[in-house]
């Protein structure tokens, strides 16, 4: 595929942060508790608020990988710092 020389491909990309539905803090406050919450319950809450299952899963995966929230066999929870 050829691009026109005056186009900058980097300028066409949208940073992910502009596509976020909410901040991480708002997500945690809205969907997570101090005690474990199952993913299915979090997805159900998101569905009621118009947030897709895939968006919920992305938030959970990213926040778990970064260590902001905990994950275990009983579900996800806020980490108290």
pLDDT of the residue at 44:
95
Separation of first and last alpha carbons in the chain: 50
pLDDT of the residue at 33:
84
69-72 vs 75-78, strand pairing mode? antiparallel
In this structure, the chain runs to a length of: 81
pLDDT of the residue at 4:
47
Mean pLDDT, the chain, integer? 80
The stretches in the chain having pLDDT less than 70 are 1-20, 81
The tokens describing 68, both together, are 């902001």
pLDDT of the residue at 5:
54
pLDDT of the residue at 21:
75
pLDDT of the residue at 18:
54
């Amino acid at each position: 595929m050829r691009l026109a020389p005056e186009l900058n491909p980097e300028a066409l990309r949208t940073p992910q942060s502009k596509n976020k539905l909410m901040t991480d803090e708002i997500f945690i406050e809205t969907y997570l508790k101090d005690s474990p919450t199952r993913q299915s319950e979090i997805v159900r809450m998101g569905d009621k608020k118009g947030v897709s299952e895939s968006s919920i899963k992305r938030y959970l995966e990213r926040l778990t990988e970064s260590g902001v929230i905990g994950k275990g066999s009983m579900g996800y929870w806020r980490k108290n710092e």
